[in-house]
Amino acid sequence: MTATTDGSTGAVDPGAAAASMTITAVTDPVPDAREAARGAMGRAVEHLLALQDVQGWWKGDLETNVTMDAEDLLLRQFLGVQDEKTVRAAALFVRGEQRADGTWATFHGGPGDLSATVEAYVALRLAGDLPEDPHMRRAATWVRARGGIAATRVFTRIWLALFGWWKWDDLPELPPELLFLPTWVPLNIYDFGCWARQTIVPLTVVSAKRPVRPAPFALDELHIDPRRPSPPTRLAPPTGWDGIFQRLDKALHVYRRFAPPALRRAAMRSAARWIVERQENDGCWGGIQPPAVYSLIALHLLGYDLQHPVMRAGLESLDRFAVWREDGARMIEACQSPVWDTCLATIALADAGLPADHPALVKAADWMLAEEVVRPGDWAVRRPDLPPGGWAFEFHNDNYPDIDDTAEVILALRRVAHPDRERTEGAIARGVRWNLGMQSKNGAWGAFDADNTSPFPNRLPFCDFGEVIDPPSADVTAHVVEMLAVEGKAHHPRTRRGITWLLAEQEECGAWFGRWGVNYVYGTGSAVPALTAAGLPGSHPAIRRAVAWLESVQNDDGGWGEDLRSYKDKSWAGRGASTPSQTAWALLALIAAGECDSKATERGVAWLVETQLPDGSWDEPYFTGTGFPWDFSINYHLYRQVFPLTALGRYINGEPVFPAARP
């Protein structure tokens, strides 16, 4: 069978593509079901090739929730840079996400979220919607019934404090002197995960300055009692950690009044320097929207005017997070995922049988090679002697390369016959060395840092917005183990420690927890292929338990799905509406376990075939990606394409082929 691009993106020359795009597949007579799967695979290849950018990368929309859009409008209001077109387009998107009960959720089909609803409500007020409008009245009624503004998370109340809608005295204290704590002291800035660290440093400045811009309206309708908006907080017993940290916060409020001015000024200067040094080449911070927003506010409070090059580049970078839709609505991405999407797309196309020297794959490899991170970042605080290497998640994020992305990029590069073998081998060698060096003490791997496991940051009253540390996880560890096995290091001592840790982390039911994807289906779909790649036979007890669990949670329609509620309630593990990405993850585990011809696999493949759209894509409104388990969920729009294609490719063509692998 031959599949070709339509040439619509200019990604590769259509003629060259047509000449070199024969899909390698089994040619023996196969049942109709396998032929149907082969046809679906071919359509998916065509669709994915048509999405490639002319520079060689792929990037799907990264959809989160309306707090990104609300906070973007609040930032523009705070800085005085709002414009009518942006406000109107953002409001159109926010209104479109409101549910019938007046609330906003943080993921598709999820429950109404109080903080998201309050922030969305305020954004619409800024856009001109009135409290008496029916949709606003429904939202306000729901908010009051859940405790009002006083019950929202700290970050929401910080945004409200910027405009005088909340008192700074009623927020946790976050002193900039935190930056002076040495790395061996608990609660030093490097005890926090990189995403939290980049957010907390600028917020120490905001907390110290306590700015208030005149509010354009009151928010009395969002309080249970506007005369008493902030009820007193009950202290927890002093013998528990919560009580200890509550009293620590009270002590910091006292310290604020007596902080030595010279020390405070020095801390603010250090914070400004820390922030500016970490601005990326594209003007953003860490390639994610929240740190960029707070960094801009902090620097502005420290005297950086809007025309300063740092501020100007930062504001311009935020515009690149905007996705303009055909109806005129404007959605803000919390982050962008081109490196992650490109390596996954490369793996999917190669596993579907695209020739290893196909122009699209070579161009993708070229782009990934150019994205290699070759300088130290914050990770070097704990690994000062480790040479740099690896890849980040975003277009620009050299301070925070990603262990997971590095493993998957190496797996993608090994599938491509790149003409510059020396360049490829050098980049892979550096990435392997860096990943090995980033192993944590327990034998596993986190996403960005090694041994980022302090129990204290999550205890701070300030940190109620989701996960603030980066401990090792089964999915990241599995991807590193799989990569090391492909690199011929299955018996390396570090790989064996990773395998031992993975086996110990298997849940009693047979699944693995998924930190960065939802949830046990993702963890299991990552762990089983890694363990079998490292040499565990399909008959191994851990593999058999995983297969049995996957078979037990398969939906009646043949697919797999898992609701985000499984992060809070294990009874939801493996339960949810079938989705293309989660069905593919289950299939990848079953196929790796040697279950290619099992009834469960056949039913899962049939579900993918039956739900494929005519253009070769799949529809997936459900959120199957994770930023913070439960607290911050992601719908990666390319997941619905790359993972089903990978699963179909391995079902038709067998195990992955690595033409560029070392002997």
DSSP reduced 3-state for 288: strand
CB distance 387 to 430 below 8 Å: yes
DSSP reduced 3-state for 366: helix
Nearest partner of 97 among 125, 79, 117, 115, judged by Cα:
117
Over 392-404, what HEC string results? CCCCCCCCCCEHH
One-letter amino acid of 112 = G
| All residues at 6 or more sequence positions from 189 whose CB lies less than 8 Å from its CB, including other chains | 178, 179, 181, 197, 200, 201
Q: Which residues, listed in sequence order, are joined to residue 2 by a DSSP beta bridge?
A: 22
Length of the chain: 663
Burial of 422 (C-beta count, 10 Å sphere; 0-12/13-18/19+): exposed
The first and second tokens of residue 110, run together, are: 């999820």
Helix (H) or strand (E) holding 39: helix 32-50
Q: Are strands 322-324 and 62-63 parallel, antiparallel or unpaired?
A: unpaired
DSSP H helical segments within 331-420, as ranges?
338-351, 359-370, 403-413
Phi, psi of 300 (to 5 degrees): -60, -40
For residue 295, the Cα-to-chain-centroid distance in whole angstroms is 20
Q: Is 113 a catalytic residue?
A: no
CB distance 152 to 115 below 8 Å: yes
CB distance 578 to 604 below 8 Å: no
The first and second tokens of residue 304, run together, are: 């950086």
Sheet holding 62-63, edge to edge: 62-63, 632-636, 625-628
Catalytic residue among 191, 398, 404, 405: 404
Helices (H) and strands (E) in the chain, counts: 23, 5
| All residues at 6 or more sequence positions from 208 whose CB lies less than 8 Å from its CB, including other chains | 175, 176, 256, 264, 267, 268
Catalytic site positions: 404
